[in-house]
Structure 1
Amino acid sequence: MFRVDRDGGTLSVTVPRNAIDAELLRQSAASVNGGAHARVVEDGAAVVVEVTAGDGAAAGAAASALFGRANGYPAFPAGTLEGFRNAERPVVSCIVLLPFNDLFARHVLLPSIIHSSRGHDIEIIVVLAGFGVDREPFQHLRMAESEMACISKGYNLGVEMARGEYVALFHDDCYVADPEWIGRALAALADPGVGAVTPELDSWFGLPVAKGVPLVMRRRDWREVGGYDEYYFVGVEDMDLTCALRARGQRVERLDVRYAHLRGMGSSLVAHESPHQLKQLFGYQVLPRTAIAGVHRDAMQRLVSQPFIRFLEGQYHLHFLEKFGDFLADNGVDVPMRREMYAHMRHPHLLTPAVAYASNREKLLDAYREMMNVDELARPV
């Protein structure tokens, strides 16, 4: 079992022996710096790593660097986040939506943006959209508060605040590890026929879907297309934006840069029974990619078992089909069949309280809270 225990300036991290290379862990522990000390102890079927530093924050930073190296994640110079300052006249506005996954953003995502953007004028805007987040590490950045976990509204608010000619939208479960990412993105967007670029294009029945890992656009295009449709609370907004760009004749292209999308950290924190533990495991980079994928799979199974989630999935897709039916049909999508499928998904819940969630945001937020372990999510790390 993966576990993190904290006692003042000491972090004790337990991992299954078969989940990590103990020798590589020892090598990583030997290279810990910044005044921290680490030791590795094998205890039966587990390996225990104790990291000690002057305080909990320093121990956490050292643990994140140690496990990052052991798991093959990137490492960044100490103080990368703390030493960054927004440009007075940014060219690119990097927008991070942060509901709950603040430790990962602090130790991995934000340092990756800063380190990979050297030589470019950027600003970072953190949109808080949850609770239990330690704001102190982000005070020197630009911050805003938005509705809990509402992806579309949070990113729209961030773009409204942006000063750059370009915006780059980042999910809170990714990182970029390529110093060429801005140069390549801006070179692609020099073509007015390109509406957006991203390293990751998902597929919905053969149509591309641009993911925010990051999603880079001209701010002017974002505003002209209307940004994310705030009808969607979570999900479908990326499909909607992609189709909106393509329907007006612009392309969405894949950006060839080094990045990683550790998919599903946000939804896993919402659905997991021990989100306080999970937040630390994510933030200190303890979990290998295979373990993160397993956690995400279990979280999604729990989420889709909720009647109101199934109802919303059907309702949101019907809204999407209503907006883009003609465009989708012209691109080979069997729209009548999809309408029937999503109407059937929604139908069993039409006579239940779930129907109110699509039109009453307060009820929707209450339903999300009922799924969460709120007390654990709200606990500071």
Structure 2
Amino acid sequence: MQINTEITINHLLQSIKSIYFQDDGKHLYLHLPSSFLPVSSSSVIASDVDLEHQNNNNLSLLTFRGIDALSRYYNAQLYFSRCWNRPIIPFLDLNKYQPPTDPIMSCIIVINENDKYVRNIQLPSLLSQQNSNLIELIIVNNGSRSIEYLNKAFSPIRVIDSEWGCVGRAYQAGADASSAEILAFLHDDCMPTDQNWLVTLFKTIQNNGIGIISQHVIPFQLGYICDHIIPPLPHAKAYPLVITRANLELVGGWDINHFIGFEELDLSLATLDHSLDVRQIEIGFLHESGLSTILKYLVNHSGLREAFGLGAIPADVISRLHKAAMSKLSKSEVGRIITRDQLRYVLQSHPKALERVGTRNVHSAMSKLKKLYQRDGSILDRRSEMVDFDRNISITST
């Protein structure tokens, strides 16, 4: 199946404004841009789905039937899983979730904007895998939704509140509230898909000398800031990032001074500081390319949030929206100042780790960052300005 790959970002944003949901108690009606649907979408039409192309406004009307709202939403999710060849997530009634009394792993999910995806896709995926009855689930509200709304949406899963925007603080709040000895941290746009992911991670993290294991460890490049004089740094990513409670405490926990980015790089370097390894492990997973970043910095739209929660947007469209959101951030001078200062803060905090990875000239890198720091000032001394930047850079669509 194919979709129109010539869609421009402006067209995407205009199309997203056309996304519309209505549930009349018997049917879920969903308008989507026709360009979002596969050319051969009729091949995935099931008995509980009607599809009508409306060429006059370039929209397709999909009608999903079901005996109740949950079944209608599940039918929609199943349809789009078939459309985009994504993992089919079993239907799950969260009301039947029972927190284990003696969990072997605590899964801590930080929600920024993407609560619908977590509720409809991520949590069902986590709880449909083998041994999921041994997982303690904790949702951390990173200030994007009201705690009352999330408590209702995710009951009976525990939801805790954290300071708006500070992901490191949110991860640490989740760790402090958890009870298992092994902790798994996840973004709100990813999920393991391997049936045995829990057992695999559990066994691996118990090996001596391993501090962090992650499905994806990207080589962090300092790029133009330091002219590549520091080799790529191991950068574990939270989809998921797994660490024992003992090792998290050993390295000093998540650094709560990180406001935008670098919290995972900081924890990775702190792990190297203590002569522990950051390891990549191969388990099946799906990462949806920064859904929260799109909602936060590019377009804040209730229809798009719902569409993400059904898996209705194809992966290449999500990828282009994410690139547009990151481009918007990178063009902001305040954003560049924040990035440089956060990087300076990380590097000066972990000299042992930099020595361990074989840096050739960290002093030169720090000198360059120090000059930028002296010119721009410290972001840690301008927290109110940083918060204003994060709030004002987003575009709200109505």
Pairwise TM-score range, normalised by the shorter structure: 0.7 to 0.9
Q: How does 1:27-46 map to 2 (within 5 A)?
A: 27-30=43-46, 37-44=48-55, 46=59
Contact 2:90–2:125 at 8 Å: present in 1 too?
no
Give the drift of 1:331.
2.1
- Taking a change above 3 Å as real, the CA distance of residues 251 and 327 of structure 1, as seen in their structure-2 partners, is closer
Q: Which of 113, 116, 133 does residue 103 from structure 1 map onto?
A: 116
Instruction: State the partner residue of 2:328.
Output: 302
2:38 is the alignment partner of 1:12? no
The residue that corresponds to 1:171 in the other structure is 187
Q: Write the letter of the residue equivalent to 1:208.
A: P
Instruction: Name the SS of the counterpart of 1:263 in structure 2.
Output: coil
Report the CA distance between 1:306 and its aligned residue. Answer: 2.1
| Counterpart check, 1:370 vs 2:381 | no
Instruction: Answer yes or no: is the 8 Å Cα contact 1:11–1:60 preserved in 2.
Output: no
- Name the structure 1 match of 2:380: 358
Q: Counterpart in 1 of 2:277?
A: 251
Report the 3-state secondary structure (helix = DSSP H, G, I; strand = E; otherwise coil) of the residue aligned with 1:186: helix
- Change in Cα spacing, 1:212 to 1:108, as seen in structure 2 (3 Å) is same
Deviation digits for residues 116-161 of structure 1 (CA, Å, limit 9, x no counterpart) = 2435511100001123464223120111000112110000000001
Partner of 2:77: 64
Question: C-alpha offsets along residues 173-211 of structure 1, whole Å, 9 cap, x if unaligned?
Answer: 101111211111122122121111111011113221110
Counterpart Cα distance in 1 of 2:45 and 2:165: 36
Equivalent residue letter for 1:296: H
Q: 1:15 corresponds to which letter in structure 2?
A: P
Contact 2:300–2:397 under 8 Å retained in 1:
no
What CA distance in whole angstroms lies between the structure 2 residues aligned with 1:342 and 1:242?
20
**Larger mean Cα displacement after TM superposition, 42-51 or 85-94:** 42-51
- 1:216 corresponding residue in structure 2: 242
Structure 1 residues 120, 256: closer, same or farther in 2, change over 3 A? farther
Quote the residue 2:225 is aligned against: none
Q: Distance in 1 between matches of 2:373 and 2:396?
A: 28
Check whether the contact 2:272–2:356 (CA below 8 A) recurs between aligned residues: no
Q: Summarize the alignment of residues 80-99 of structure 1 with structure 2, pairs less than 5 Å apart.
A: 80-99=93-112
Measured at CA, do residues 197 and 66 of structure 1 come closer, stay the same or move farther in structure 2, by a change above 3 Å?
same
Q: In the alignment, what sits opposite 1:34?
A: none
**1:125 to 2:141 alignment:** no
**CA deviation after TM superposition for structure 1 residue 311, in Å:** 1.1
* C-alpha separation in 1, matches of 2:319 and 2:396: 23
**CA distance in 1: counterparts of 2:182 and 2:259, whole angstroms:** 25
Displacement of 1:55 in angstroms is: 6.0
Contact 1:80 1:115 in 2 (8 A): no
After TM superposition, the structure 1 stretch with the greater mean CA deviation from structure 2, 145-154 or 58-67, is 58-67
Indicate the SS of the match to 1:235: coil
Which one-letter code corresponds to 1:249 in the other structure? S
Residue 77 of structure 1, CA deviation: 2.2
Describe the shift of the 1:369–1:240 C-alpha distance in structure 2 as closer, same or farther (beyond 3 A).
Answer: same
Q: Judging changes above 3 Å, is the alpha-carbon distance between structure 1 residues 252 and 95 closer, same or farther for their aligned structure 2 residues? A: same
How many Å separate the matches in 2 of 1:73 and 1:316? Answer: 36
> Could you tell me which of 202, 213, 224 is aligned with 1:197?
213
Kept in 2, the 8 Å contact 1:93–1:167? The answer is yes
In 2, Cα distance between equivalents of 1:57 and 1:115: 17
Aligned match of 2:8: none
In structure 2, C-alpha distance between the alignment counterparts of 1:148 and 1:60, rounded to whole Å: 30
**Within 1, Cα distance between the matches of 2:374 and 2:302?**
36
Q: TM-score, normalised by structure 1?
A: 0.87
2:123 maps to amino acid = L
Q: Superposition pairs for residues 278-317 of structure 1, below 5 Å?
A: 278-317=304-343
Amino acid at match of 1:370: N
**Secondary structure class of the residue paired with 2:100:** coil
Report the number of matched residues. Answer: 364
What is the aligned-residue identity percentage? 22
Q: Which runs of 5+ in 1 are unaligned?
A: 32-36, 377-381
Greater CA drift, 171-180 or 274-283:
274-283
- Report what 1:379 is aligned to: none
- Residues 307 and 349 in structure 1, CA contact (< 8 A), matched pair in contact too: no
Instruction: Label 1:95 to 1:336 Cα distance change in 2 as closer, same or farther (>3 A).
Output: same
